[in-house]
Amino acid sequence: MTGYLGSQLEEFSKKNLQNKLFIKFNRKTKKFDTNKPKSINLIINFSSPNEIVCRSGTDLNSIFKSWKKTIDIAINSTKITHLINISSIHVFKNRNNLINESSKYGSKDPYAVMQMKCVKYLNEKCLNKKIRLINLFVSNIYGSINKNIKIRQNLVLNETIISALLNKNLVLKSDCNVTRDFVWIEDFLIILNKIIEKKDQIKFKKIIVASGQTLNVKKIIIILFNYLKKSKKQKIIFGEKITNKLHPIYYSNLRLLDILNLENKNNFKSINQTLKKLESIYK
């Protein structure tokens, strides 16, 4: 476990997943935090290069080689039977209004290109080692389950939350007048736990984890910021108008709901429900 999502899962597991033992993989030492790595039966890969790294201008091949070395060591040091790879919905081509697991990859964004390379490699690696692989293509996750855990500020809704709580103005590069699918962090962690529990029954290699709704980002930012801000003097400064914005894209979560026998309305919190969660965490 590593990064934003890994740290959230680690904290979540302390109170909610006490029947499971989660072991960290240290990327610096290239070792698991245990003397018995062969006892590990499942790896959750949170470590694929993030958008900051991929969009930094660094050569993608060198980034991929570094990630590949790390994931190879992690897999080869265990006797895992399953691997859950946390990827992104951004790998899919956005030509159609509806994206599902049958949609083609094809985004040219460096982050999406890297995610596609990682998925391809893990497909081959797991096939050769007879490991059951589940690729989760996850929507835009935001929030935190604990105020003491740092959240990634480069994600726009997280940046909104942090600025409001720190009594700062929110300065954004664009007008944010676009639509996106969002998933509250706790909803994602609950779903991930259910996937772990049902991993032996899941036959699909590709599952989209999304709310199935598209929301206007600008409107959500205004609602979140105004609800959480500490002072009336705080304000939002939007940047340039987005001229090349995409049409609304809906990410189907029907496969996910079917596999886990879920109902959409009960498993993805609305913005109003999220506000109450944020209030209980930070206020």
Please answer whether residues 240 and 177 qualify as being in contact, where contact means their C-beta atoms are separated by less than 8 angstroms: no
Q: Would you state the structure tokens that stand for residue 206, as one six-digit string?
A: 């590709």
Measured CA to CA in angstroms, residue 50 lies from 60, 172, 265 at distances of 12, 20, 30
Query: How do strand 215-216 and strand 179-180 relate by DSSP bridges?
Result: antiparallel
pLDDT per residue as tens, the chain (283 positions): 567 898 899 889 888 877 788 888 988 899 999 999 999 999 999 988 988 899 999 999 999 999 999 999 999 999 999 999 999 999 998 777 899 999 999 888 999 999 999 999 999 999 999 999 999 999 999 999 988 887 877 789 999 999 999 999 999 999 999 999 999 999 999 999 999 999 999 999 999 999 999 999 999 999 999 999 999 999 999 999 987 766 789 999 999 999 999 877 678 888 889 988 888 888 6
Among 178, 194, 174, 198, residue whose Cα is nearest residue 186: 194
Q: Distance between CA atoms of 10 and 1, rounded to whole angstroms? A: 8
